[in-house]
């Protein structure tokens, strides 16, 4: 029996972390990567995140049991248009990252109704991916939250298939409302990059910047590192203007309160605001380390031969709740 094939469209951090986790967890699976940037494919090959790169997109996805698509949101339609004619009801098509609502509408317009499409996001554990992601490892996905929104074409069997795979990779799949997830994504995904951009513009726009830019070193570089990814979120902000304005207003209000405390020479209020922020951060980290208590989502039905493609009969039976060995 030939190896099952998994296609990764996008050899960025997300794609490589998925490839590494799949290769370690699922064993006899061929992972094929595609990226319009040939250097990205080479990096993924050198990191052993993929078994081989394939420049031709339809060839990369041909006969794949699962296709994971990461990268810029505007590239999703190009990818789906190219691979749609060859997709059937037994192929998992998973978009990882980008606005859920847009992804679902894009898939609805380009894919046949019976094709199981999932709009998802991988939210990495802050202790495993700290700061700006660079090169992942096989543990990057462990304990990550994997938000899931299935399309109407995703059967119960294929939903169970995706949940089983996510669990096997060490992630925690959670079904979410697409509108609510997109709104929160503006705050926790886009705003850090936006704030980095605004800080860069504010400091570099000062008249003395050219003479004093050498005073900005590693600490400043880390603070504005989000600028590298900010352009990816421009469409997100434009797609959800009311939500973006809401979160920008909340940030501005906090900045104004801090400014007023400083202007009033109220050192106690200044320190209280900064200490409170650190306390909130520590509580957030502690909650992540404690983990969510609801555990893995149960598999409701036997997925038959689909799980066996990836995991083998014994592993598939155990995940699906079948007691036979």
Question: Same domain for 79 and 160?
Answer: yes
Residue whose C-alpha is closest to residue 143's, from 128, 133, 130: 128
Domain span at residue 28?
4-176+294-320
* 61 occurs within a structural domain: yes
Q: Which residues have CB under 8 Å from 307's CB, separation 6+?
A: 161, 164, 315, 316, 319, 320
Question: Same domain for 142 and 193?
Answer: no
pTM: 0.86
Question: Same domain for 166 and 206?
Answer: no
Domain count, the chain: 2
**pLDDT per position in the chain (325 positions), as tens?**
578 899 999 999 999 999 999 999 887 889 999 999 999 999 999 999 999 999 999 999 999 999 999 977 778 999 999 999 999 888 999 999 989 999 999 999 999 999 999 999 999 999 887 655 568 888 899 999 999 999 988 888 899 989 999 999 999 999 999 999 999 999 999 999 999 999 999 999 999 999 999 999 999 998 998 888 777 788 788 889 999 999 999 999 999 999 999 999 999 999 999 999 999 999 999 999 998 766 555 544 444 455 555 555 544 544 444 433 3
Q: How far is CA 101 from CA 65, 96, 106, 182, in A?
A: 25, 13, 9, 7
Question: Same domain for 141 and 187?
Answer: no
Question: Same domain for 151 and 228?
Answer: no
Question: Same domain for 170 and 184?
Answer: no
* 209 occurs within a structural domain: yes
Question: Same domain for 203 and 277?
Answer: yes
Question: Same domain for 127 and 269?
Answer: no
Q: What is the CATH number of the domain that holds 284?
A: 1.10.3660.10
Residue 149: in which H helix or E strand, if any?
A: strand 145-150
β-strand pairing of 117-123 with 145-150? antiparallel
Q: Which residues pair with 148 in a beta bridge?
A: 120, 175
Question: Same domain for 282 and 302?
Answer: no
Rounded Cα–Cα distance for residues 209 and 313 (Å)? 64
Residue whose C-alpha is closest to residue 14's, from 149, 161, 169: 169
């Amino acid at each position: 029996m030939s190896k099952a094939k998994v296609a990764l469209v996008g050899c960025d951090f997300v794609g490589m972390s998925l490839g590494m986790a799949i290769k370690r967890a699922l064993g006899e699976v061929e992972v094929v990567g595609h990226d319009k940037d040939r250097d990205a494919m080479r990096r993924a090959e050198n990191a052993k995140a993929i078994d081989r790169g394939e420049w031709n997109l339809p060839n990369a996805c041909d006969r794949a049991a699962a296709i994971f698509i990461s990268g810029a949101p505007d590239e999703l339609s190009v990818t789906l248009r190219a691979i749609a004619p060859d997709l059937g009801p037994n192929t998992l098509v998973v978009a990882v990252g980008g606005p859920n609502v847009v992804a679902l509408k894009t898939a609805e317009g380009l894919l046949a109704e019976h094709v199981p499409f999932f709009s998802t996001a991988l939210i990495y554990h802050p202790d495993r991916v700290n700061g700006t992601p660079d090169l992942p490892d096989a543990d990057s996905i462990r304990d990550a939250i994997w938000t899931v929104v299935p399309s109407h074409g995703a059967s119960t069997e294929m939903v169970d298939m995706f949940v089983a795979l996510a669990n096997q990779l060490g992630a925690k799949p959670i079904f979410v409302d697409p509108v609510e997830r997109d709104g929160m994504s503006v705050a926790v995904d886009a705003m850090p990059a936006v704030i980095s951009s605004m800080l860069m513009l504010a400091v570099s726009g000062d008249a003395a910047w050219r003479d004093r830019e050498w005073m900005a070193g590693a600490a400043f570089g880390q603070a504005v590192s989000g600028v590298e990814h900010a352009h990816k979120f421009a469409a997100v902000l434009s797609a959800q203007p009311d939500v973006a304005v809401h979160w920008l207003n909340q940030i501005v209000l906090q900045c104004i309160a801090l400014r007023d405390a400083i202007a009033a020479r109220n050192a106690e209020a200044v320190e209280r605001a900064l200490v409170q922020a650190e306390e909130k951060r520590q509580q957030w980290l502690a909650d992540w380390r404690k983990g969510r208590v609801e555990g893995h989502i149960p598999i409701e039905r036997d997925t038959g031969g689909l799980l066996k493609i990836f995991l083998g009969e014994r592993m598939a039976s155990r995940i699906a709740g079948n007691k036979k060995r």
